[in-house]
Amino acid sequence: MAVSTVLAGARVVLPTGIVENGRVIVENGRIAGAAHQDAATLDLSGHWLVPGFVDLHNHGGGGASFTSGTVDDVLTGVRTHRQHGTTTVVASFVTGEMDFLTQRAGLLSELAEQGDIAGIHFEGPFISPCRKGAHDETLLRDPEPAEVRKLIDAARGQARMVTLATELPGGLDSVRLLAEHGVIAAVGHTDATYEQTRDAIDAGATVATHLFNAMPALGHRAPGPIAALLEDERVTVELINDGTHLHPAALELAFHHAGAERVAFITDAMDAAGFGDGRYMLGPLEVEVKDSVARLVEGGSIAGSTLTLDRAFRRAVTVDRLPVESAVQALSANPAKLLGVYDRVGSLEPGKDADLVVLDADFELKGVMRKGEWVVDPQVG
């Protein structure tokens, strides 16, 4: 007979609301509906129990890069984020040579097939030189469908998202290609107008890559991509809630117009996440991290973040004053639905993987479970 674990006494956040003094039963790596007589009980009184976090956009952590690191390096980055509550992570690449990106896609597709990562996100090379951010301009190219197809094929069914400047030649045809293959087309690092962005959404784009960043600002005569992406119910907007990438008023604006059901908090993390200040490489570009803010050594552009999703959650509910249920939607349910894995993760419902995070009354992380195994042993004594 299988041994059950009962997590009892916490405030449990479910899709239907918050359950006071709730019980979550874990059995054989999944959330079960009933406990066996020999169930071990862990008292989580005074704590919160939320689903494991799902990160759509993450470049690495723990000193390791998903773009250029070895397989062991990639796993180091994955483990680092798991220790901060991210039980499902998509590995994102920055711009590189096409041959290099296809080789990396083949390598990381094996990790996706094993379940270590939830797939691959290509953030470049199909982006605008005008809005390149921390990408090497010499390696950028237009999003010709044949080139986009090379990356999809190299990922062997594990490509989950491609960020494009859809106003560039081939952009709309590439959006249609991605949609046909079940890959998320994300509008980002773009200099598109409002009208061009509307065309991209109509062609099948469904995500805004780190909204507000690496795109034209919202204007009263030229509203640009921000207005188009916020107003359309077909689009989920990524937000980097680290206090550097977004002013709180911008975050509030996004939630007001998109609603909690269309926001996905991401990290856009680079190697320094969970590791510390210092000098790093983001693709071929050198980055200096100082006071936890990553900037290119040359030019000073923000170069991803050092964010972890437990910090994004805590900031959302303590600084931004979002309801806990809205933060859970943005960190777990919404990205899981986008990735097509909501049947397995993203909420604490029977039959799903036992991926969950224990937080104390101040929303500090106190435990992480993935597939029924403690990644971070609960500190609740």
Active-site residues, by number, are 268
Helix (H) or strand (E) holding 376: strand 373-376
Cβ atoms 168, 197 nearer than 8 A: no
- Give just the sign of the alpha carbon dihedral 300, 304, 157, 107: positive
Decide if 46 contacts 8 (C-beta within 8 A). no
- Three-state DSSP class for residue 326: helix
Torsion (CA) 273, 253, 330, 174 in degrees, nearest 10: -80
Using CB atoms within 10 Å of the CB of residue 142, give its burial: 0 to 12 exposed, 13 to 18 middle, 19+ buried: middle
Closest of 128, 107, 104, 108 to residue 116, by C-alpha: 108
Q: Is 212 exposed, middle or buried (0-12, 13-18, 19+ CB in 10 A)?
A: buried
CA atoms within a 13 Å half-sphere pointing along the CA-CB vector of 288: 6
- Cα gap 336→330, rounded to integer Å: 10
Cβ count within 10 A of residue 321: 9
Contacts of 333 (CB under 8 A, 6+ apart): 15, 51, 342, 346, 347
CA angle 293, 59, 75 (to 5 degrees): 120
| Paired tokens of 302 | 């923000």
Which residue intervals of the chain are DSSP H helices? 71-82, 98-114, 145-154, 171-180, 194-203, 224-231, 248-258, 309-318, 324-328, 334-339
3-state secondary structure 118-172: CCEEEECCCCCHHHCCCCCHHHCCCCCHHHHHHHHHHCCCCEEEEEECCCCCCHH
